[in-house]
């Protein structure tokens, strides 16, 4: 084991030391990488991670088949968001619903 000085980045998480000696953690670079990976760089930001009044409904068979034929890597996208929630607990509830 060796000392690599002040911690700045580890496992996709950026660390920034504040003046009082604490650390702020963030994953802005990782979030940007997720958007690029899933071709969502033009997505619009939202103030909240989910609207309170939204109720999820089971897809019809036709909707489900259309989704499957789109070949969107849903599991990989959700897995990426789960890792992002390490520094964004505000999105954890929404991701758990996905």
Confidence (pLDDT) at 53: 76
Confidence (pLDDT) at 36: 96
pLDDT tens track for 40-67: 999 888 777 677 777 888 999 999 999 8
Domain boundaries, the chain: 9-97
Confidence (pLDDT) at 98: 84
Sheet of strand 9-10, all strands in order from the earlier edge strand to the far edge = 9-10, 13-17, 23-26
Mean pLDDT of the 25-39 span: 92
Strands of the chain, DSSP E:
9-10, 13-17, 23-26
What Cα–Cα distance (Å) separates residue 71 from each residue in 20, 38, 65, 98?
48, 12, 10, 17
Q: Residue 80 — very low, low, confident or very high, per pLDDT cuts 50/70/90?
A: very high
Confidence (pLDDT) at 1: 60
């Amino acid at each position: 084991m060796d000392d690599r000085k002040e911690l700045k980045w580890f496992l996709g998480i950026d660390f920034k030391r504040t003046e009082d000696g604490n650390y702020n953690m963030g994953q802005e670079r990782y979030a940007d990488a997720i958007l690029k990976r899933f071709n969502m760089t033009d997505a619009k930001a939202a103030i909240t991670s989910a609207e309170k009044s939204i109720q999820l409904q089971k897809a019809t068979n036709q909707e489900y088949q259309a989704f499957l034929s789109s070949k969107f890597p849903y599991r990989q996208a959700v897995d990426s968001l789960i890792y992002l929630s390490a520094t964004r607990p505000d999105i954890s509830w929404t991701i758990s619903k996905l």
